[in-house]
Structure 1
């Protein structure tokens, strides 16, 4: 059998010369942009997904991810540089494969690793010697070596000799105009030195951003959680400041702007209706769960999660207060909720804090309607809800407008010119009369 150095050198050369075929398992918000960038870099790419609808759309050149340029996808598919399949037996044809599948939480806020396990098993069933496997899904420290590595070893592969295994966390910020998959720096940690080197080579041939090598997969897994926990905790601080400033009748946005003038020791974070997306509200709980194994209680992380999770309650309470000033009750009042997506200018409403706000408005008997040009319909409590169009007639019917997501496409001038009261959770600053314009 060829030795480790021979296999590693062959794969290294294939990647450097872009003669390798690369597989991407999971064609969602992370996987499809990664597959497109690898194909644009000159690699032949095969995308794998269990959802036939996604496979069919990719093979038809139909884009469904905001961060992918439709013309790029169409051209890559047309030239056969990128193909997709639900048949995992084609794993045998790839030289490197990235696993980019969801890692959700269960109802007890514990990691659900079923997607990762099933993907790793499918890869192990069909992989051939001399292949690189990289896990990109955000997860708890130890996943690569405690979960993926044994699955591959059960098939008789020796890591670092027959198969090369590494972890490189995804860094995707939907809607970010400055940083995307192509130019965002990458962190890579392999099980062995050769694993790290080969994985880093693959990313350096594809990305413009720096590739930072670390000593192990666990370091790379932990740093990803640190990134998102940092944001979670600082947003929680901003949210708690917003609640306190509201009680003290101080404008929290003005406070943050003033603090941000300090050129060192302060980074501005802003309050809002709560956290959304598949990362910030979820990832810190992986660390909390893993910490229990070491008999450690992550008090700060859990407190931050509780503060952020409570923001929808605070927003609905503010709705009640605004209506109460008009001598009206929330029950029976027409409330226009502007935005369903969890952040501006995207069509993603995963874990959106707007959903629990809508649920609570329903519980209190409000007659609400949601408006979001990016999301024509969405699921709430198992039912499909259609988004409405923001019109002057709709505004005339309403007692309150709740700005939950600050989409650039919204006609804020029309809102300003109406007589409806506005509760702004995003600091749009509509310059309305003080009598009917409120911030959180």
Structure 2
């Protein structure tokens, strides 16, 4: 049991909004969460190791689409939001939320280095009466076996001196219907009192709170959501390759199948998986399952199928260039349309477009890209050779210089009519031309 003063004092602070919140990691998850918490009446300090982010936030310039400059400015002017690289400010925070990356290693093992380093930073300033929350997606057991263990090395005890909880992030970049405050929030805690604090804190900032029995359960919830999508996307990607060999349009099949009012949910194929969640999160469970000597065949097979899609698409591109243009890919110049992993956002994390460019150039071709949301390729962990490349203009006089256009991301801002009129060959991985009624003989689906 927690000491009466630690639990009661923190409960009271959360209830009257006098608790100060700290959000570590001001990216796609952390910044929208920080603003949502501030908007609910708490004072929030955002922490990040990137000084460029702090400079932008101090100038009320948001670098995340989900947070408007006006919303950022409003919370800063009200004195409810500030940002810093100085982690000593954690000592003044009553609630600390961890929103840092959880990537995979080259061998698809969990990389918890950011979570561990952040936990150590918190431990350096840990005091009684604080609630520490992990939001980063990870395998079941991380909050209790990694974060709590690091924090308890201070001599303070979870559930007695401080409290630990987990609440999976559910951000969906570009979603116009849901935002941080309206997406139901799954919460869990290390013990009943920690759970009560989690419900009170998040209940003040979001519309719906969904409590579950343990941190491990909450961690499993997020993995299940993303595994569900990964497996079903892999299924339609595999169906795409099979139906294509049979001369059947998989998009037409899906559109007809979804008219069934029960027992079917449409998923759509693409050039591969992108974003920080779906290509990565399932392998956290795969890794953890080895501890129990249990196979995760569906998860691993889905990963193999989805990872193979960029090479399949480039194969279809090469085939189309050979048959329709009489030109080898190795002598061709290709424009990849869309660098972001999904439409109408600037997010390139794990984007299959990066892999498409890499494969085209591995095969001797030349690849450029156009993306209305990504002016220049930023530094990435895996594609350092592509750093600094800039988006080319999408104009008739530019298009004629390319042998083919490969549509990887179907942004709404693109002039597809101009594209279909001026590009000699188009390979469409998103079915965008059929959807817009712009089908033509030189538009090939892949």
Same-fold call, TM cutoff 0.5: yes
- Does residue 280 (structure 1) correspond to residue 281 (structure 2)? The answer is no
- Pairing partner for 2:384 from 381, 386, 396: 381
| Superposed displacement of residue 254, structure 1 | 0.6
Q: Which aligned pairs between 1:41-56 and structure 2 lie closer than 5 A? A: 41-56=40-55
- Pairing partner for 1:411 from 406, 409, 415: 415
The answer on whether the counterparts of 1:58 and 1:77 sit within 8 Å (CA) in structure 2 is no
CA–CA distance in structure 1, aligned partners of residues 17 and 39 of structure 2: 11
Partner in structure 2 of residue 294 of structure 1: 292
Larger deviation: 396-405 or 183-192? 396-405
The answer on whether the counterparts of 1:416 and 1:431 sit within 8 Å (CA) in structure 2 is no
| Superposed displacement of residue 200, structure 1 | 1.1
CA–CA distance in structure 1, aligned partners of residues 8 and 163 of structure 2: 12
Aligned pair in 2 of structure 1 residues 126, 381: CA closer, same or farther (>3 Å)?
Answer: closer
CA–CA distance in structure 2, aligned partners of residues 433 and 200 of structure 1: 51
Aligned pair in 2 of structure 1 residues 292, 3: CA closer, same or farther (>3 Å)?
Answer: closer
CA–CA distance in structure 2, aligned partners of residues 116 and 416 of structure 1: 47
Secondary structure of the residue aligned to 1:66 is coil
Aligned pair in 2 of structure 1 residues 323, 163: CA closer, same or farther (>3 Å)?
Answer: same
Partner in structure 2 of residue 402 of structure 1: 406
| Cα-to-partner distance string for 1:397-423 (whole Å, 9 max, x where unaligned) | 222111110001101110122252211
- Does residue 235 (structure 1) correspond to residue 230 (structure 2)? The answer is no
| Superposed displacement of residue 434, structure 1 | 4.2
Partner in structure 1 of residue 161 of structure 2: 162
| Superposed displacement of residue 23, structure 1 | 0.5
Secondary structure of the residue aligned to 1:219 is helix
The answer on whether the counterparts of 1:57 and 1:63 sit within 8 Å (CA) in structure 2 is yes
Partner in structure 2 of residue 245 of structure 1: 243
Q: TM-score, normalised by structure 2?
A: 0.96
Partner in structure 1 of residue 424 of structure 2: 420
Q: Which aligned pairs between 1:42-191 and structure 2 lie closer than 5 A? A: 42-191=41-190
- Does residue 316 (structure 1) correspond to residue 290 (structure 2)? The answer is no
Aligned pair in 2 of structure 1 residues 234, 7: CA closer, same or farther (>3 Å)?
Answer: same
Please, what is the CA RMSD of the aligned residues? 1.4
The answer on whether the counterparts of 2:2 and 2:159 sit within 8 Å (CA) in structure 1 is no
- Does residue 199 (structure 1) correspond to residue 168 (structure 2)? The answer is no
- Does residue 213 (structure 1) correspond to residue 211 (structure 2)? The answer is yes
Unaligned runs of 5+ in 1: none
CA–CA distance in structure 1, aligned partners of residues 344 and 306 of structure 2: 22
| Superposed displacement of residue 124, structure 1 | 1.4
The answer on whether the counterparts of 1:200 and 1:213 sit within 8 Å (CA) in structure 2 is yes
- Does residue 437 (structure 1) correspond to residue 443 (structure 2)? The answer is yes
| Superposed displacement of residue 66, structure 1 | 1.1
| Superposed displacement of residue 3, structure 1 | 5.9
Partner in structure 2 of residue 393 of structure 1: 397
Partner in structure 1 of residue 32 of structure 2: 33
| Cα-to-partner distance string for 1:379-432 (whole Å, 9 max, x where unaligned) | 543342111010001122222111110001101110122252211111112544
Secondary structure of the residue aligned to 2:124 is helix
